[in-house]
Amino acid sequence: MSKCHVRELSNVYEAIFKDALYAFPTLGAEFEKDLTRLKVLVERRGLRVYLADLPAVGKHLDRCLAGGQYILSGLPLTKRFSGRVVIPKFLRGLYLLVFHESGSLREDCNVEAVFFLRQILYAAKKAVYACSFDKTESEVLEFVETDAQLPEPESYWNAVNPSLPVALMPYRGFGNSSLLKERIGLLEPHLRHDVSLFLTMLDKVSNLVTTTLGVYDPAEWRFRHGPGAIAEAVGPSNKYSWTNWSESLESEYPLADCGFHNFASWADKCNASTQIGFSEPSSRLVAVPKTYSGPRLIAAEPSEHQWCQQNSWNYFCSRTSSGWLGRFVTFRDQSRNQLLCCRGSETGSTATVDLSAASDRVTCHVVGQYFRSNPKLLSCLRASRTRSVRQNLAPRAPETVELRKFSTMGSANTFPVETLIFLGVALASVLVSRKLRCTLQNILELTEEVAVFGDDIVIPSDSRELFVEALEVLYFKVNTQKSFWTGRFRESCGVDSFRGVNVTPAYWKCFYDGGPESLASVTESANNFYKKWLLNTSGYLASTLPGYIPRVAMSSGIAGLKSRLPVSNNGFPRRYNRHLHRDEIRVLTTIASQRRIATNDDTALLQYFTEEPSPDNIWVHGVPQRPRLQKKLRWVPEELVTAQ
């Protein structure tokens, strides 16, 4: 980002301070000083102030809110006001509405001041930023180091013979695991007894969870490809044409049954000149831009593994959507976590726990112990597990890493497996802490106290200590900076709540650079600021966009700038569509188009059966190219723009 980008982001912050001034008109002089301090620091340190320094101060503020006391941190823009006043000079006016001069949290703390503090500090936290080579390499080295800290997978995970896995299955329960007993021995003496009881309880809970899921038969569930990239190719490729199908995958997902639309197609492939290989494939490590601090690492899975993992994902989603499991986990909905997060911040009865690199710390040993009561499912998880990953992002890291973890981000099995494991750990911790028996009735009574979505976990505060220790024994690591169990601040699944009030800030992500991607992103950011009633900031972002962006009602499904006022859009071209008998206006919008290159083999039939297109749509088979987002002037129904 250039100097002009720094200037534009400074304009965003000026607008945020204007919005703060409307909420706190008596702090005008303070805000002028704050803005001056901010600009001086930006001139000296550059864009880092917005993207890294301010979010770091925001994290420190969250810890102080949870602890009920402001403490010195030594971070930029946190220099204390004086020897008597602990709070910082920067944003002093807002801080004094939250904390006393001594640093203690005020009983009459102004929650709106908390929101504006966090809005100013976090506004650019999620800015999309292409990270430097050094930061990418650092992330890769940390990925390799984290994996090396995990125990080696048992020989069961390397079995390829269809009849061998059951004979080799070494899992006899968490309570009988010598590996975990050794880790219990490293705990403080007063914790060892409860953690031992926890492992026994986890056996009972995992039995209940896995038997509730029921038998997994791949033939009953849908095979398909995920939307992500695959390991074999960097660009578009025909995912329905198999070039490799490992022996371990064949043991549970026979190629003839699972990889073709009929046996004739399979036989033709077997007789073809290009035979299908049977080697164990590797995934490919990809760095995706995330934030200024570093990229997100995702492993592109082999196409055949992706195909089978989506089958088990379909099974997990279906079996948890109904029954008692659906009261605790919903793989496509974060609202339960968000609701309990707000309740916990009001009452303090629940804690929110976040884990550090959770998906990279799920060991094969824990997965085996947890799903041992469902041997078919466990064997299929073994078969579709990718055992190694290759990378070319960091010269100092190995080109190929033999994975100790169960799976990486990118595998469709990672999210449901880790979610169910964390659910079991949470339920077992509460039952042991409260000295309850493992019965379905006792578990159902925890519906309003426990929720799990990936590594975002809500548990009762009285069970937090045992829960954290249990996670450590199972090789997980709690992210203390994003976990809250004291005070009245909680954070879970994108919702930040203080004393029962949602104080989640709106985020700025990128500038409008003339492209369709930035047009969609800036429009969304402007709408998010508008929903928070930050009208100056929303208006500034809207002013950076081109014309023909319509004002639309809050509930409108048309892309545009949201408005709570009646919408007119008088300056836009209008017409009456005689064919559709409706009034239309011409507006600028973004359209995603995707071409497909036709294939010359019978994989088109497999693609048709997999995608199941509607008979009302014109369906085209072939290899989908990268989607292209385009700006285009379109005629849209006026009633959809103005409908409230």
Look at 54-58, 74-78, 157-161, 176-180 and tell me which has the smallest mean pLDDT. Answer: 157-161
Note whether residue 528 is domain-resident: no
Is 572 in a helix, a strand, or coil? coil
Amino acid 638: pLDDT? 85
Q: How far is CA 54 from the centre of its chain?
A: 22
| Mean pLDDT, residues 536-550 taken together | 91
So what's the pLDDT on residue 166?
58
Q: Within this chain, do residues 109 and 157 fall inside the same structural domain, yes or no?
A: no
Segment among 87-91, 151-155, 231-235, 413-417 with least mean pLDDT = 231-235
Q: Which residue has the higher pLDDT, 288 or 12?
A: 12
**pLDDT category of residue 35 using cuts at 50, 70 and 90:** very high
d(CA 459, CA 629): 42
Q: How far apart are CA 611 and CA 619, in angstroms?
A: 10
Mean pLDDT of 113-142: 91
Distance CA 546, CA 224 (A): 40
Locate the DSSP E strands across 463-534.
489-492, 495-498, 501-502
Contact (CB, 8 A) for 35 and 17? yes
57, amino acid identity: V
pLDDT number for residue 389? 95
pLDDT at 165: 59
Phi/psi region, residue 419 (left: phi>0; alpha: psi -120 to 50; beta: rest), is alpha
pLDDT for 640 equals 81
581 conformational bin, left if phi > 0, alpha if psi -120 to 50, beta if neither: left
261 and 182 in a common domain: yes
pLDDT for residue 163: 59
Q: Are 65 and 42 in contact (CB under 8 A)?
A: no
Using pLDDT thresholds of 50, 70 and 90, give the confidence band for residue 140.
very high
Q: Which of 439, 468, 498 is the last residue of a domain?
A: 498
Residue 162 has pLDDT above 60, yes or no: no
Considering only CA atoms, which of 243, 391, 237, 213 is closest in space to residue 305? 243
Same domain (yes/no): 112, 142: no
pLDDT band, residue 515 (cuts 50/70/90) = confident
Do 216 and 248 have their domain in common?
yes
Listed in sequence order, the residues at least 6 apart from 333 whose beta carbon sits closer than 8 Å to its beta carbon are none
**Domain end among 122, 157, 183:** 122
Among 389-393, 438-442, 583-587, which stretch is predicted with the lowest mean pLDDT?
Answer: 583-587
In a domain? residue 523: no
* Residue range 58-76: mean pLDDT, rounded: 93
Whether 519 maps to a domain, the answer reads no
Task: Name the pLDDT band for 167 (thresholds 50, 70, 90).
Answer: low
CA distance 202 to 372: 12
> Running DSSP on this structure, what letter comes out for residue 279?
S
Residue 352 has pLDDT above 90, yes or no: yes
Strand order, beta sheet including 350-354? 350-354, 456-460, 451-453
Angle between helices 414-433 and 464-473 (to 10 degrees): 130
**105: which strand partners?**
99
Residue 522 within any structural domain of the chain: no
The whole domain housing 118 covers 3-122
Q: How many CB atoms lie within 10 A of CB 301?
A: 32
| Burial of residue 164 (number of CB atoms within 10 Å: 0-12, 13-18, 19+) | middle
d(CA 26, CA 256): 74
Q: 333 and 294: one domain?
A: yes
The answer to whether 562 and 533 have CB atoms below 8 angstroms apart is no
Residues 198 and 228 in one domain: yes
Closest CA relative to residue 169, chosen from 393, 364, 439, 445: 364
Amino acid at 21: L
Secondary structure (DSSP) of 254-313:
-HHHHSSSSHHHHHHHHHSSSPPB-SPP-EEEEEEEEETTEEEEEEEBPHHHHHHHHHHH
Same domain, yes or no, for 287 and 412?
Answer: yes
The answer on 339 and 245 residing in a single domain is yes
User: Which of 370, 434, 423 lies closest to 199 in space, CA to CA?
Assistant: 370
Classify strands 495-498 and 551-553 as parallel, antiparallel or unpaired.
unpaired
**What is the β-pairing status of strands 582-593 and 628-637?**
antiparallel
Residues 105 and 211 in one domain: no
The answer to whether residue 424 is domain-embedded is yes
Q: Which residue has the higher pLDDT, 268 or 473?
A: 473
Statement: residue 464 has pLDDT above 60: yes
Same domain, 253 and 314: yes
Q: Which of 324, 327, 331 is nearest to 340 (CA)?
A: 327
Nearest to residue 432, comparing CAs of 459, 409, 392? 459
Q: Are 430 and 459 in contact (CB under 8 A)?
A: yes
pLDDT: which is higher, 589 or 67:
67
Residue pair 195/466 in contact (Cβ under 8 Å)? The answer is yes
The model's pLDDT over 557-580, given as tens digits with 9 standing for 90+, comes to 788 899 888 887 788 888 999 999
For position 291, what pLDDT does the model report?
A: 80
Q: Which of 95, 122, 149 is where one domain is finished?
A: 122
Is residue 521 included in any domain, yes or no? Answer: no
Cα separation values, 288 from 128, 210, 425, 446, Å: 10, 34, 31, 38
When divided into structural domains, the chain yields a total of 3
582 DSSP β-pair partners: 577
503 located within any domain: no
The answer on 456 and 398 residing in a single domain is yes
- Residues 568 and 583: their CA atoms lie apart, in Å, by 13
Give the span between the Cα atoms of 33 and 36, in whole angstroms: 5
- CA 43, 47, 52, 58 dihedral sign is positive
Residue 55: φ, ψ to 5°: -60, -35
Helix (H) or strand (E) holding 630: strand 628-637
The pLDDT assigned to 546 comes to 87
Residue 547 has pLDDT above 90, yes or no: no
DSSP 8-state assignment for residue 51: I
The whole-angstrom separation of Cα 137 and Cα 262 is 45
Q: What is the mean pLDDT of the chain?
A: 90
- Scanning the structure block, which residue is given the tokens 């033709």? 268
Taking the C-alpha atoms of residue 558 and residue 551, their distance in angstroms, rounded to an integer, is 9
Q: What is the DSSP letter of 506?
A: P
- Write down the pLDDT at residue 644: 60
Contact predicate 350/340, CB 8 Å: yes
Indicate the pTM of the whole model: 0.93
What confidence score (pLDDT) does residue 294 get? 83
| Mean pLDDT calculated for residue range 503-530 | 92
Asked which of 53-62, 137-146, 561-570 is least confident by mean pLDDT, the reply is 561-570
Percent of the chain with pLDDT over 90: 65
What local confidence, expressed as pLDDT, does residue 643 receive?
66
Length of the chain: 644
Nearest to 380 by CA among 147, 232, 162, 167: 162
Tell me the mean pLDDT in the region 314-320.
Answer: 95
pLDDT in tens, 209-244: 999 999 999 999 999 998 878 887 777 788 888 989
Q: What secondary structure letter does DSSP report for 230?
A: B
pLDDT at residue 236 in the model: 76
Q: Is 505 a domain residue?
A: no
Please check whether residues 73 and 145 belong to one and the same domain: no
Residue 440: pLDDT band (50, 70, 90) is very high
